[in-house]
Structure 1
Amino acid sequence: MATCAREAEPLEALSNSLHSPEALFTRPLDVSVPELLERFVDEAASTLGGLDGAVACAGGARGRGITEATTQDWSATWEMNVGHVARLVATSAPHLRAAGGGPIVVVASVSGWKPGPQAQYGAAKAAQIHMVSSLARELAMDGIRVNAVSPGSMLIPGKRWDRMRREDPAAFDRFRAEFAGGDLVRPEEVADVIAFLLSDQSRGVTGVNLPVDKGQNAPTPEGY
C-alpha cells in the first residue's frame, strides 16, 4: 500500500500504527505539484511491484465569495481538486493496464451537486463527478473502473463541525436537521464505501457517483 500527505508527521504516525510498517510506501508531498504526484505514483508502483488500484482523496478550497475570490483562488481550488485527479489517473492508468485493470476511486463531495458556498469548490467537485463518468468510458476497455464517492459533511475530531458541536451546540443542532437521521457522516463510513469500490465485489460498478451523505440536504449550515 502507498499513501502521501503534505506533512511527514502523520505519515510516520500511520506507519508506526501498523504491524508491518515496511509494507506501507509513503512520501510527504503536495499533490497539486504535477511532477511530485507523478513521481510518487511511479515510485510506488516500482517499489510495490505494480498497482492494484488508486484513490484520489485530496481536496480543498481557497477564497471567499464570488466578489472577493481572486483568479488565483479559483485556479488553486481547481488544481487541488480537478488537476490532481487528472494527473493521478493519467499516471496510474498505465500501471493498472499492465496489471490487467483495476479500480480508481475519486473522493468528490455532496457540494458537487447540492449548491452551497463557495462556488469555486462546488464547481471543482462537480467537475470531478463529470470527469469520473467520462474516464470510466475512456478506460473501460483497459479493465479500469472509475467511480466517485461523495461524502456529506463529516464529523472529524478537531475539524469544523466538531468545533461547532463543542463551541456552538445550538448551531450544531440546527445543522443536524439537514440530515435525514440527524447524524453527520463519520469518516469510517466513507472509508467502508471506498473499500467496497476498490474490491472485486464492485467489479460490475463503474462511472457512478455514490453519495455517502446520510440523506443530507444543504451541504452547509447556510443552506442553499
Structure 2
Amino acid sequence: MTSGTEQTERSAPGAGRFAGRRIVVTGGSRGLGREVVRLLLAEGAQVATCARSAESLDGLRRSFGASSDLFTRSLDIADPELLEQFVKSAADTFGGLDGVVACAGGARGRGITEATHGDWAATWALNVGHFARLAASATPHLKDSGGGSIVVVSSISGWKPGPQAQYGASKAAQIHMVSSLARELGPHGIRVNAVSPGSMLIPGKRWDRMRQDDPVGYEQFTAEFPGGELVRPEEVADVIAFLLSEQARGVTGVNLPVDRGQNAPTPQGY
C-alpha cells in the first residue's frame, strides 16, 4: 500500500452554499464520489479527495480546470494510517475541516459457502473500518471548527436483503454507527447521517453495462422501481450536499434512502 501522489490547487473560495467550507470526500475520482466533488466545488467549497488511482485523480483535476480549489491524494482507504495522514494533510492545507463524506467502499467475495475469511475482512475494512477511521480522524478538526457534518454513503442493501451477505452486513453496520455517533458527537456540534442509494445508473458501470448487454434483463430489473427508472448519481449527490449544508442543521442520526422506491437491491432479489 502506498500513498502515491499528492496534488493541491488553491484559489479564493467562490460564492455559493459552501463558500468557505472545507470538506473531505473519500472515493471522489469517479461515479457518485466524482459527482459529489463536482457539486461541492461548484457551490464554493474547498474539497480534499482521495482514490487508489493517481491517474484517475489527475483526470479529475483536469476535468475541473485550474481554478478548482482541490486537494488530492492517492491511497488505499483500507489502510488506517494512510487515511489518517490524508485527513490531517487536508485539514492542514485548508486550515481546518467543516465536513466529511465517506463515499468510498466496496465488497469482495461471493456467497456464504464460497466467501473466505479474507473476503469478509476486506469488505468490513472497506466499509466499516474506513468509515470509523475517517470519522475518528476528522472529529478533532470538526470540533476545532465549532462543529460540522459527517455523511456516510451506505446502501439499501443495509436493510433490504440481497447478495452478498458480507456487503449487506457491513452496510447495516454503517447505518447503526450513524445512530451511535450522532449521540456521541452531538454535544460537540457534529451531525452524523447516512445516505443509502439504490441501484445507480452510472455510465460504464454494472447497470449501464447490463442495459446495453442484456436489455431484456435490464427491463425486468426496472420493475423493482415504481417509476421504472434507476437512481442517478446526481440525485444522490444532491441529498449528500443537503446533509452537509446548514439547511440540514436539525438533521442528525438519520439514514436517508435515495432509491426511487426500489424494492430488491439486485435483479436476483430475495
TM class by shorter chain equals over 0.9
- SS of the counterpart of 2:129? helix
Query: 1:158 and 2:204 equivalent?
Result: yes
Mapping 1:14-93, distance limit 5 Å: 14-21=60-67, 23-93=69-139
Query: Which deviates more, 3-12 or 98-107?
Result: 3-12
Identity within the alignment, %: 75
The equivalent position to 1:128 in structure 2, one of 160, 174, 179, is 174
Counterpart of 1:219 in structure 2 is: 265
Q: Distance in 1 between matches of 2:221 and 2:104?
A: 25
Point out where structure 2 has 5 or more consecutive residues left out of the alignment: 1-46
> CA shift at 1:17, angstroms?
2.2
1:89-127 deviation per Cα after TM superposition (whole angstroms, max 9, x unaligned):
000000000000000000000100000000000000000
Runs of 4+ in 1 over 6 A off after TM superposition: none
Point out where structure 1 has 5 or more consecutive residues left out of the alignment: none
Counterpart of 2:187 in structure 1 is: 141
The equivalent position to 1:100 in structure 2, one of 138, 146, 149, is 146
The equivalent position to 2:249 in structure 1, one of 203, 216, 222, is 203
Aligned CA-pair RMSD: 0.8
1:13-39 deviation per Cα after TM superposition (whole angstroms, max 9, x unaligned):
221222445620100011000100000
Q: Distance in 2 between matches of 1:204 and 1:19?
A: 35
1:61-116 deviation per Cα after TM superposition (whole angstroms, max 9, x unaligned):
11100000000100000000000000000000000000000000000001000000
> CA shift at 1:168, angstroms?
0.5
Q: CA 1:202–1:176 in structure 2 vs 1: closer, same or farther (change >3 Å)?
A: same
Query: Which deviates more, 6-15 or 59-68?
Result: 6-15
Counterpart of 2:221 in structure 1 is: 175
> CA shift at 1:12, angstroms?
1.2
Counterpart of 2:20 in structure 1 is: none
Query: Which deviates more, 92-101 or 22-31?
Result: 22-31
Q: Distance in 1 between matches of 2:186 and 2:200?
A: 32
- SS of the counterpart of 2:105? coil
Query: Which deviates more, 76-85 or 14-23?
Result: 14-23
- SS of the counterpart of 1:158? coil
Q: Distance in 2 between matches of 1:67 and 1:27?
A: 37
Report if aligned partners of 1:15, 1:21 keep a CA contact under 8 Å in 2: no
Q: TM-score, normalised by structure 1?
A: 0.98
- SS of the counterpart of 1:177? helix
Q: TM-score, normalised by structure 2?
A: 0.82
